[in-house]
Structure 1
Amino acid sequence: MHERTFPSSHVALVVGGRSPIGLGIAREFAARGAGRIAIAGRNEAQGRTCVDELARSLPRARFEFIAVDIADDASRHAMFGRIGEQFGGLDSYVHCVPPGAVSGALADAGLDRFRTSLLAGLGGLAGCCQEASDLLRARGGGSMLVFASDAGRIASPRNALVATVQSGIMALVRSLALELARDRIRVNGLSPTYVRDTPLFDRLMSNEGIARRIEKAAQRAGLGLPAPDDIAPLAVFLAGNAASKITGQIISINGGLSAA
């Protein structure tokens, strides 16, 4: 039985909420007492299926799906407008969008795809944070949690473009935390390396060379590589009052793979 953390009036928005990590966070919010949870993503049919499943397993909370393309200004604005008008405000914002940056050597990179990943990974994120902070400020404060990747923290070969996007996300989290502290808005980040039981992990494992690197990483991770259920409790803890003095922190969840 989960201890109640949030009042039933608590409103949470999880962008990228259709992913296994996002769904785990949405479930954890509901299990901890939050009354209204919106999950947002691109695929409306799959999103509504996810919401129906959540509602059946956690009937005390109200779940809704919002279709959004965060790289599109109008779509992003419509999502936050709906949260403000239909939900009455926002208390917790979680940005759980899977990384889409280009991997591989810089010499072989497709720069058009890299520009697209910059637009979504940094431009879309900045726009979401801007609009989320307006809603949180109107509510008297709250929390924002942004996902990055340890690729932005630890340099490795063939990851220059991934690292560029992810380190930019981390810099945004830290700077925004200082900007918004006086508004009682806390901004933190989580940065996994590899997360089992996710579509991204399965895609990586389908590449023989990458799979070998992951297997070596799993051997080095003394606690084992994390799964989505290992991430959700920390994510929701950072949104609650027990973390009221924690901001500007980026916490790595990698099972002991690194300690940077």
Structure 2
Amino acid sequence: MANDELDGKVAIVTGAASGIGLACVQALAASGARVVLADLDVDATARAAETVRGDTLAVWTDVADPGSVDSLVDVAVDRFGGLHAMVNSAAVSGESVPVGDYSTESWRRVLGVNLDGVFYCMRAAIRAMRRGGGGSIISVASVLGRVGSPRAGAYVAAKHGVVGLTRSAAVEHAPDRIRVNAVGPGFVRTPLLDRGLDEERHNELAAQHPIGRPGTPEEVAELVGWLASDASSLVTGAYYAVDGGYLAR
């Protein structure tokens, strides 16, 4: 991306305190966007904002709460005058058990953040972008939005839902000049992944990628930045795998 590709644009990134979310913040800001960092972790989000060059704002947000999401978008528009890009990156992993043993509480938590949260953010962004003449919404799905995986039923269900929601919203809101796309990372070394896996399991996952390694947050953010920019003006309703060949096996 050109360094000025997003000059004058305003973007929100959820899950912005670390991992893919933070990498997206950095990529968007480096291309000239003013970025609102949204996350549950207030201190980590504030620290992240301080590391980013450019005009940024850290906002505590619970994406599972529609009121919190609506407030986030209102703050972004009030502070910067509009909204041009929304990156839905906030996610939780949930229990690692078979579907038959999955607890109702964990199921609701994962779906509440990973699917309901994307819907709330998408809805609020669409309303703001309609008023502003259009924009781009990018949701971080997963390769698990296309295939199944043992012991991850809620996560897989939510990510499949994100892909379907993306396609429906893209068709519905193309007349509003709003583009809606999803990216599907393979396994990426982030705090979310690292918390649940030891090094042996990481190595096993790496072997599932023909490229021979997991991805990095920065590699995902490059694609997100392109989708946020006018360079991708013909692209909507798409799912882009960024997975080192995981889905091609």
TM-score range, shorter chain: over 0.9
Q: For the residues of structure 1 that align with 2:192 and 2:43, how far apart are their CA atoms?
A: 20
Q: Which amino acid aligns with 2:46?
A: R
Deviation string, structure 1 residues 185-213 (Cα, Å, up to 9, x no partner)? 000001112102x112212323x8xx43x
Larger Rg: 1
Using the alignment, how far apart are the partners of 1:112 and 1:98 within structure 2?
16
Preserved CA contact (<8 Å) 2:91 2:113: no
In structure 1, what is the Cα distance between the partners aligned to 2:62 and 2:152? 26
Q: Secondary structure at the match of 1:38?
A: strand
The answer to whether 1:249 aligns with 2:238 is: yes
Structure 1 residues 46 and 158: CA distance shift in structure 2, 3 A: closer
The equivalent of 2:206 in structure 1 is 218
Between the aligned partners of 2:169 and 2:206, the Cα distance in structure 1 is 33
In structure 1, the residue corresponding to 2:136 is in which secondary structure?
strand
What is the deviation of 1:19? 1.8
| Cross-structure match for 1:25 | 24
1:111-260 equivalence runs, <5 A: 111-196=104-189, 198-206=190-198, 211-212=200-201, 214-223=202-211, 224-259=213-248
Contact kept? 2:86, 2:125, Cα under 8 Å: yes
Compute the displacement of 1:95 (Å): 0.5
Q: How many residues align?
A: 248
Q: Which runs of 5+ in 1 are unaligned?
A: none
**Residue type at the aligned position of 2:19:** P
For 2:139, what is the secondary structure of its paired residue? strand
What amino acid maps onto 1:77 in structure 2?
D
- Matches of 2:45 and 2:137, distance apart in 1: 22
User: Is the Cα–Cα contact under 8 Å of residues 14 and 93 in structure 1 kept in the other structure?
Assistant: yes
Distance in 1, matches of 2:227 and 2:62, equals 26
> Is the 8 Å Cα contact of residues 90 and 113 (structure 2) preserved in structure 1?
no
- 1:66 paired with 2:59, answer yes
Residue in structure 1 matching 2:42, options 20, 41, 44: 44
Q: Which runs of 5+ in 2 are unaligned?
A: none
How far is 1:16 from its partner?
0.9
In 2: Cα distance, 1:122 partner to 1:201 partner: 18
CA contact (8 A) 2:143 2:247 kept: no
1:2, CA displacement in angstroms? 4.7
Report the 3-state secondary structure (helix = DSSP H, G, I; strand = E; otherwise coil) of the residue aligned with 1:158. coil
